[in-house]
Structure 1
Amino acid sequence: MEVPIKPSSKEEIQKAIKTIKELDLKSAEIDTIKELLTPIFKGYIITTPKFKPGLTLYRGRCFENKPTNISEITYPPKERIRSVQRVNRAGHPVFYCSTAREALFFELDVKPKDKIVVSKWETTKELLVNNVGYTRTCFSNLKSNRESQTWGEIKKEINIPETNNLVNEFLSQEFTKIVPAEKEYLYKISIAIAEKLFSDDLFDGLLYPTIPMKANADNLALKPRYIDEKKIAIKTVEYIQIDTKEDFKYKITVLDFANSYLIIV
């Protein structure tokens, strides 16, 4: 018989939140933040999706010259990851992708004359991900045109803590903060949250709304093993030039297209 986890009190959670918000993130360590998150996560309940095979995903990377091998457009080797991003530490690769092709242009913040490679992938096995950022407040703050997603109801027999919404809002707000290019250290909190949410071997990745595209599509950060175990297959590759950027729209030219590709080496 499983013994239910007693959630932290509201006061304990609020104290932990206050401590995290007062941290000097330039010097704070990610592991320290993870420790401070422990009372916040204690007893936290969330529903999350399991996607059937056949999910279409898109991945984008900036390239001056056209790549010649899949190994150039999949997740990068750890030695090439020298800075932190929203989900990963330096030296820790993940496979960033999106459910919408157009989201890639905003995520990469491309400018006219930039060239990018957009690859289309399809899952061949079930995909179980945890999620963060799906609250009405979060979607409202990002000025999204869609409603926040829900991933099924929590079973009636499960006692939902009164603090669950408090925790969900805190995690979502911190994870989806807009981070200026010169202040990447602010990602330390989102990285700590991500690692608490999907480091367990149970999960293949993390699902979250795209921030630059105002939560109007979803991003995924997949663990390298999901790709290495060939649970996702590449379908097409486009080599694209950005022509113009006006307000929230891009005009592009597809320079090349391929629906067959070299094997990863």
Structure 2
Amino acid sequence: MDKKIKVGIVSYRNTRPLIYGLQHTALSNDIELIEDIPARLADKLKTGEIDLGLVPVAVIPQLGEYHIIGDYCIGTEGEVASVCLFSEVPLNEITRVYLDYQSRSSVALLQWLMRESWGIFPEIIQAEDESYREEIKGTTAGLVIGDRALEQRLISTYIYDLGAEWRAITGLPFVFAAWVSTKSLPASFVQRFNEANAAGIPRIDEIVAANPFPVYDLRKYYTLNLSYQLDERKRKGLELFLSYLKKDNEQPVEA
């Protein structure tokens, strides 16, 4: 390849099994890794700042052209642990909800759950920075994702896991982020990229040892909460979620 392919990677611990091979195989010579939070990675893919990114799947409908690359993702078969609505009161007592500024897919999933499953319609506030977590008290809840959600689990009384809620309703796994490109990539690169993603999956113990995190059991996180294989059932779950997003986008705007 004439130039390195810019690859956007989420700067959370949940990506470590996937990023392992991107850093430790020969592919590392052909790519430039760019770390950021999910929401900004989505923007970078849309503007062409990255060629390929592990981006929130909620951005897919906003892309004129897209290609899902490889067979790996950030997904869950049920309880994901790190994407939750946190509160001090039950769902029916929540009056306000802060949306995580770092999120796209989780925000869309939460809004769908509140409307279609839980039947609650609280005031929605888009968080702008990390200070919103201090507001999760009383009847004010907050969506928190990533490593910060694992920390929040030690603080909040009520924890509503979005992965588990989706599974209970649909019977399908949920895909939070997938490898997406806005242009075709060489087949030879895609194959090597896929192999690099696979390289870290058998090395969970090594990855856990290299990423100490006393807040939560990372081995449980990587092997039980998270599921990295973008298999047929996850693709079905993804297709269903994207159909819901499309339906929402087609709703007429009230005058």
What is the TM-score normalised by the length of structure 1?
A: 0.26
Q: Point out the structure with max Rg over C-alpha.
A: 1
Structure having the higher helix fraction is: 2
Higher relative contact order (CA closer than 8 Å, sequence separation 6+) = 2
